[in-house]
């Protein structure tokens, strides 16, 4: 299993990216999608996922809608316009981070 501490700082970006790809998603669906995409390497716990979703909702990056599905109520999360802009920013930040990390862990040093 992956070192979850390394992924912790990127959780919000992962959520925003998934919601950008899909019109709307619910909590369990997000955990399963991440597990499926990473072939079981990354497991997002509900203890980390829901507070992050609620924080994004409070910040106005996500909007919610509740629907009755399979005998129960389900809360779907969707990106707001502000959320769409933030997704682009967060992805840029993450790509920059990955680029810098690659330079640091795989330096092409020369003696010149």
Partner 1 sequence: MESTMKRILSTEEIQFIDTYLENSDIVYADIRMEMIDHIASDLEERLTESKTLTFYEVFKDYMVENKARFLKGNKQFIKSADRFILSKFKQKIKSGTFVLLLIAFFGIIYFSLDKLSLDSIKNIIGYSPFFPLIPLFIIYFLLVDKFNLRRFSGIERLGFVYIAFFQFFNLCGILVHKNLKSSPDLLYVSILLSAEILLGFLLIKVSLEVLSHYKKVYKLTS
Which residues are at the interface with partner 1 (CB under 8 A)?
Answer: 26-29, 45-47, 50-51, 54-55, 57-60, 64-66, 69-75
**How far is residue 31's CA from residue 52's CA, in Å, rounded to a whole number?**
13
Looking at the Cβ atoms of 3 and 45, the one nearer to partner 1 is 45
* Token pair of 73 as six digits: 């109520």
* Token pair of 33 as six digits: 């999608």
Helix pair angle (11-21, 81-105), 10° resolution: 130
Q: How far is the CB of 110 from partner 1 (least distance, A)?
A: 49
Q: How far is the CB of 111 from partner 1 (least distance, A)?
A: 52
Looking at the Cβ atoms of 40 and 103, the one nearer to partner 1 is 40
**How far is residue 66's CA from residue 79's CA, in Å, rounded to a whole number?**
15
Looking at the Cβ atoms of 23 and 70, the one nearer to partner 1 is 70
Type and span of the H or E element at 100: helix 81-105
Q: How far is the CB of 61 from partner 1 (least distance, A)?
A: 11
């Amino acid at each position: 299993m992956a070192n979850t501490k390394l992924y912790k700082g990127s959780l919000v970006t992962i959520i925003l990216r998934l919601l950008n790809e899909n019109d709307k998603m619910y909590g369990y669906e997000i955990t399963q999608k991440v597990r499926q995409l990473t072939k079981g390497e990354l497991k997002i716990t509900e203890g980390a996922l829901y507070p992050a979703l609620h924080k994004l909702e409070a910040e106005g990056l996500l909007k919610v809608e509740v629907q009755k599905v399979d005998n129960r109520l389900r809360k779907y999360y969707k990106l707001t316009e502000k959320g769409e802009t933030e997704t682009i920013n967060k992805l840029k930040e993450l790509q920059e981070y990955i680029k810098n990390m690659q330079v640091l862990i795989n330096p092409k040093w020369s003696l010149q």
